[in-house]
Amino acid sequence: MALFRRKPTLEGLADSLPDGPLRAFAQRPAPPPSTTADQLRLLAVDVETTGLDATTDRLLSIGFVPVDGSTIPLGGAGHHVVRSTAEVGQSATVHGITDDALAAGVELEEALTRLLEALAGRVLLAHHAVIENDFLTRAMRQVWGQSVPLTCVDTMQLQHRLLSQGFDDEPPPGSLRLWSARQQYGLPRYQAHEALTDALACAELYLAQVSELGWQTSLKKLT
């Protein structure tokens, strides 16, 4: 099921954007839909937030790890805590980000710029990608007044497809969660709700899934 698809005219969109991170990103569109998994370049992304509603909750941190075909080059990984003077509240019990850590973070514009630099020419990879898409889109609009469309591969959707295998029965409750899905492939459990760690966990899950789907699977079939 296609959640988000980069517009075919993204290069044309670049001409209407002012110089800056959005234009630079739009000038390097994602790989074409025919690109096979063994040649596909993605960026596994995870965000930590104060909640799940992008219209009311805040973006706290962004973690990302590149995926090149069947490898995860950790040298390209990044993690940015977003500076804020507002208290993080009860969500700290989930993600562990403290008010002091937020005060020492980077501005939202810098965090987004670093992400877009890493994501340029790649496909965004996330588990339940609607969360990342919603928060990143809203953050772009907050900083620059507009956003660019993102092409996403969603490991939760891939897991649903793999578990269903053409049957109408829904997967068991909880089986689509990141750590449950990883367990089905014998992948280790990391400490959850840290953006960089969760991005790596998503990248590893994706490689396990594609090994089952086949490395000649096209991007079109992955979205």
CA gap 128, 110 in Å, rounded: 25
CA gap 30, 123 in Å, rounded: 6
Tell me how far apart the terminal alpha carbons of the chain are, to the nearest angstrom. Answer: 6
pLDDT tens for each residue of 182-204: 999 999 999 888 999 999 999 99
Ranges of H-type helices in the chain: 10-16, 21-26, 92-95, 99-103, 108-119, 129-144, 155-164, 178-184, 195-213, 219-222
CA gap 126, 139 in Å, rounded: 17
Provide the whole-model pTM.
0.92
Q: Are 155 and 126 in contact (CB under 8 A)?
A: yes
CA gap 222, 217 in Å, rounded: 7
CA gap 134, 151 in Å, rounded: 13
pLDDT tens for each residue of 17-68: 999 999 999 999 899 999 999 999 999 999 999 999 999 999 999 999 999 9
Per-residue confidence (pLDDT) for residue 5, from 0 to 100:
44
Nearest to 66 by CA among 50, 33, 83, 42: 42
Structural domains in the chain, CATH included, are 10-222 (3.30.420.10)
β-bridge partners, 80: 62
Does residue 7 carry a pLDDT above 60?
Answer: no
Q: Are 65 and 115 in contact (CB under 8 A)?
A: no
Q: For 191, what's the count of Cα atoms within 13 Å in the CB-facing half-sphere?
A: 6
Residue 109 Cα distances to 30, 54, 83, 105, 131, angstroms: 22, 17, 10, 12, 19
Does residue 134 carry a pLDDT above 60?
Answer: yes
pLDDT tens for each residue of 74-119: 999 999 999 998 877 777 666 778 889 999 999 999 999 999 999 9
Ranges of H-type helices in 3-128: 10-16, 21-26, 92-95, 99-103, 108-119
Neighbour tally for 158: CB within 10 Å: 25
φ and ψ at 47, to 5 degrees? -120, 145
